[in-house]
Chain A
Amino acid sequence: MGKPKKRTRGTEQEAAEEAEQAAADIGKGKSARVEEPSKEPDEGSDSDSEDYDVSTDDAGSSDEEEDSEDSQEEEEDKEEIDVDFDFFDPKPEDFHGVRALLNTYLDDKAFPGLSDFVDTIIEQTTVGTIVRTSESESAVGLITALNLHEKRNLGCIKEISAYLLEKCPADTKDKLSQALSGRKTALMINERLVNCPPQLANPLTTALFDEIAWATEDEPTQERRDEFEFDQYLVFTRAFRDPLVGEGGGAAASASGANKKSKQPKKEKQKAAAPDESALVFTRPEDEIFHQLSAWSFVYNAERSQNASGNELKPVRIVYLLDAKKVPEGRKRIKALVDV
């Protein structure tokens, strides 16, 4: 809306008016910009599925572009830049990038098996996607799923399991240990740099679940095919807690989904100890949606949360279990979010 005006106006007289117009147009301009990105991912996701059908090896690339209106950029404080995100299968060169992303996987706890963990993720080329921007050579995002039972003897998986059990509140411990020892449980690893746009949610989850589905059909041996027959996904991810949302809002305005009944008795016990779940702020839309559909979950303050002072969002870690049957519903909701 602001763009065509700027291009046609050239006279000095109108330049002053233009500046005023631009200021007034910021409101209109912004709403225009919000609409446009939603159109992009539609095309993006179409080409996505095409790419995945065609290519079985690396470079299933898809473009996710943030809309930018260059002419208005200088006038406003916010700068928007075009970024292309490419999706690749994990490769050995990604080791350092992935390691950097997973450095704080166990918060501040020493994680000596981290390098092995990264190796395990990278070796699994059939299921797993790494996101890179065209400029940087290192990974900005990662999504993958590891079969916990298959990998249970690895030192790194034992460390992760031990850590989760340690952080788990007493009433969820049984459910967690059941999940950890389940034969068809997947550990879903989903990490990105903090300021990655939310539009990445749809292609990444599509990529993951499609690859899992293909793996169950395409893998050469029956053992490998079975490895990817998951019936539940254990997700260990990051979120924030808004300290301004009081604990009073818990019982009444709690999250939707089948978990409501089971969560309430837990909530009363946990109010003193753990963060209230209704005050959670998710930076990644797929986490929010899957959490709503989860069977159970628990939250604890991330080690550094004491540093966030006053009204800042406090970082928390959240663990939830997602039943595989709920995944299609989740995917539908994620797609719907983006298409708005």
Chain B
Amino acid sequence: MAVRLQFENSNDIGVFCNVTNKYIVTAFGGSENFYSVFEAECADHMPIVKTSVAGTTLVGRMTVGNKNGLLMPNSATDQELMHVRNSLPDEVVVQRVDERLSALGNCIACNDYVALIHPDLDRETEEIIADVLGVEVFRQTVAGNVLVGSYCSFTNQGGLVHPHTSIEDLDELSSLLQVPLVAGTVNRGSEVISAGMAANDWIAFCGLDTTATELQVIESVFKLRDAQPTQIVNEMRHSLIDAMM
């Protein structure tokens, strides 16, 4: 299911939060409205951590993570790192990355299995990503844009990319990521997908300005209709048993 919300009058949800299958990291907000939406939807299933990154509220764009780990930029302070590490479950490895391109959320897009990264990211950073997040890493561009983290957002079920992505690029990315992809917009025509929304395998959060059409597209490509956390396990049951045999 898809939920609309705002952070202090801004529709750019994805800037202020990081949503994964295991946890959610949000920014400190002036009012509790933002945080309370996440609490209402997800508090039963996973921890929701409030933090700042480098003293800013730009949590979604500075950090990147999945169920295995969370990467924070070198500008994140020690206290912030400690706070997040303490608040997240032990299986989630929190690591600070020394990288010139410090807006990790803009440079890296990932789900639990694959990551797309900015072509200019250090080799060292690439290794850390592969290690901490437990993903296969690909250097790619999206619609000719190097900020892959900004212009595409994908989960284990599906993904949304920049509206000007060509069909060939869509096919290529889709085969790399092994998930269905759709080119679309969010927040009433905004092309910066990841800034406008945040999603995991069973819920998506979008800005208040997102039109009904955009919401339908998101719900369909991310397979959110009738999605409950337990259903994922049921769906995967077949493949799990096959693997054991």
Chain A contacts to B: CB under 8 angstroms:
95-96, 103-104, 108, 110-112, 114-115
A96 to B187, CA, bound (A): 9
B69 → chain A closest CB, angstroms: 34
Please, which residue of chain A has its CB at the minimum distance from the CB of B31? A110
Please, which residue of chain B has its CB at the minimum distance from the CB of A114? B9
B39 at interface by CB-CB < 8 Å: no
A95 touches B9 (CB 8 A): no
B189 touches A108 (CB 8 A): no
Chain B contacts to A: CB under 8 angstroms:
6, 8-10, 30-31, 33, 188-190, 208-209
Please, which residue of chain A has its CB at the minimum distance from the CB of B30? A108
| Chain A residues within an 8 Å CB radius of B6 | 110, 112
A57 to B189, CA, bound (A): 24
A95 to B46, CA, bound (A): 37
Within the complex, which residue of B9, B189, B209 is in contact with A111, where a contact is CB–CB below 8 Å? B9
A95 touches B188 (CB 8 A): yes
B208 touches A110 (CB 8 A): no
A67 → chain B closest CB, angstroms: 36
| Chain B residues within an 8 Å CB radius of A95 | 188-189
| Chain B residues within an 8 Å CB radius of A115 | 188, 208-209
For this complex, 13 residue pairs linking A to B, each with C-beta atoms less than 8 Å apart, are: A95-B189, A96-B188, A96-B190, A103-B9, A103-B10, A108-B8, A108-B30, A110-B9, A111-B9, A112-B6, A112-B208, A114-B9, A115-B208
B30 touches A96 (CB 8 A): no
A96 to B196, CA, bound (A): 12
Please, which residue of chain A has its CB at the minimum distance from the CB of B10? A103
A90 → chain B closest CB, angstroms: 16
A108 to B188, CA, bound (A): 23
| Chain A residues within an 8 Å CB radius of B208 | 112, 115
Please, which residue of chain B has its CB at the minimum distance from the CB of A118? B209
A111 to B11, CA, bound (A): 12
A114 to B6, CA, bound (A): 12
| Chain A residues within an 8 Å CB radius of B190 | 96
| Chain A residues within an 8 Å CB radius of B33 | 110
| Chain A residues within an 8 Å CB radius of B209 | 115
Please, which residue of chain B has its CB at the minimum distance from the CB of A95? B188
A110 to B31, CA, bound (A): 9
A5 to B31, CA, bound (A): 60
| Chain B residues within an 8 Å CB radius of A103 | 9-10
Please, which residue of chain B has its CB at the minimum distance from the CB of A103? B9
Within the complex, which residue of B9, B31, B189 is in contact with A96, where a contact is CB–CB below 8 Å? B189
A194 to B188, CA, bound (A): 26
A202 to B23, CA, bound (A): 54
| Chain B residues within an 8 Å CB radius of A111 | 9
Please, which residue of chain A has its CB at the minimum distance from the CB of B190? A96
B3 → chain A closest CB, angstroms: 15
A100 → chain B closest CB, angstroms: 9
A255 → chain B closest CB, angstroms: 33
| Chain B residues within an 8 Å CB radius of A104 | 9
Q: Which 8 A-B pairs have the closest CB atoms?
A: A115-B209, A111-B9, A103-B9, A108-B30, A110-B9, A114-B9, A96-B190, A95-B188
| Chain B residues within an 8 Å CB radius of A108 | 8, 30
A111 to B6, CA, bound (A): 10
| Chain B residues within an 8 Å CB radius of A110 | 6, 8-9, 31, 33
| Chain A residues within an 8 Å CB radius of B189 | 95-96
A112 to B8, CA, bound (A): 10
